[in-house]
Structure 1
Amino acid sequence: MAGKDDYYNRAKQQGYRARSAYKLKQLDREFDLIERGDTVVDLGAAPGGWLQVAAEEAGGGGRVIGVDLQRIDDVERGDAPVETIRGDMTEDDTKAAIREAAGGRVDVVVSDMAPNMTGEYNLDHARSVHLARQALETAEDLLGEGGSFAVKVFQGQDLADFEADVEREFAFTRTTSPDASRESSSEVYVVGKNKLTGPVRVGDELTVEVTDVGEEGDGIAKVEGFTLFVDGAEAGDELRVEVTDVKPRFGFAEPIEE
């Protein structure tokens, strides 16, 4: 085998369960998805190639949890302990089992799930987006502030809307195609970093009361304890604003001209 098919041989030689392990390796190398000590949840984890990589990257202080409807053989690679849960990730019982296994803290959610292929491109694309949205919902439910997310999805007409939904939940997002993906594949990976947990998102319009002025001259308003810097506003102003940028712990807004 030559070119990208070399990843199949490489996986066999290096003891990874699937060539897809190199996709996660490349995503992690490019985006620093998994840090030492992280708790990682892998959705649709069978046969376990991504679990092997996650266990290596999370290290001894980390924890890795794999979820799949299929049985996954014990993973003995890397220093992080690996636990597998057999169940449907969309069910409350499965999410509760994940939380219990994670000890209440999840730093990274990844998903390499793909639908059963029908050969009808638009249908396969739609099903892949559906799976990706399920993974995003799980990430929204489990990730804490600053958490990371990576999910596979097929290119097509619904990709842009899905990317926009990821952008609303993370401070940094990118869509990429790892070198380990086959040349003939339409798959891409949508990556989100620095999970947002504040009460506002880009594009939100709301009325705020400016209570102070920051060092840069922007007005400071609080929304459920979250700091919002309002361009050109002064202490005592009460005005309608549109949120223009959101970071994990603060955001920016512009006054809306009446």
Structure 2
Amino acid sequence: MECKNCEKSLFADYNYCANCGAKVIRNRITIKNIWNDFTERFLNIDNTFLRTFVHLFSKPEAVIGGYIRGVRRKYLNPISYFTIAVTLGGLFIFVYRKFFPDALDFQQQSLNAKPEANALAQDISSTIFEYQSLFYIATLPLLALISRLVFINSKKFNLSEHFVINVYGYSHLSILVNALYLATIWNTPAFQVVTFFNMFFQIAYFTYIFKRLFGLTIPQTLLKLLIFLGILLVLFIALVIAMAAYMVVNKQ
């Protein structure tokens, strides 16, 4: 008998491969063992997903710093965690487009704004929501570069390690926020609150993880935050202008 994963020889009574640790599967797939596999991976209190999710709140330096230092089995790696975040984001987009296509209408109800401005704001909001995963995939390297520049005087983490930090941070926030979106999309006021505070969630959480990772004091944290926000604000304004110009040109 051979392991189906690494093809090493196994004794007949083995339940796990001694070489790669994979579970030995003897039976055909059924709904029951699919469900058992799902619960074992994601609902078991001792599984890596829940441990990663909880510890990214309570001790992000253990998850992120641990991965950078070489801890590979205790927590989900950043790519796997990012994949879960993208999947949940895709589920939200499906629910939003299929069942609640008008959920963002509250963002364009400005009495003083011109209809054209309201329509443009609605288009921008819808585009960001619909392509949020692609948007963040494209911006993650940029965010890593910005955070590396903010900590240019520190050699604790290199650029690639800053990328890992940002992937973990984005993935964690994406899982949390998209779960809140799914829970509140049927209730416009609640959905509006989550949408409004989304950016504040991101700023607060990234400030928190960088404080923990670098062991910053409160004054140091505030200074780094101001530098980060200054760089991000300039880039964000440039991006909004570019998106608005693109949409205006396409509508002509």
Same fold (TM over 0.5): no
Provide TM-score, normalisation by structure 1.
0.22
Provide TM-score, normalisation by structure 2.
0.23
**Relative to total residues, which structure has the larger strand share, 1 or 2?**
1
Q: Which has the larger radius of gyration?
A: 2
**Relative to total residues, which structure has the larger helix share, 1 or 2?**
2
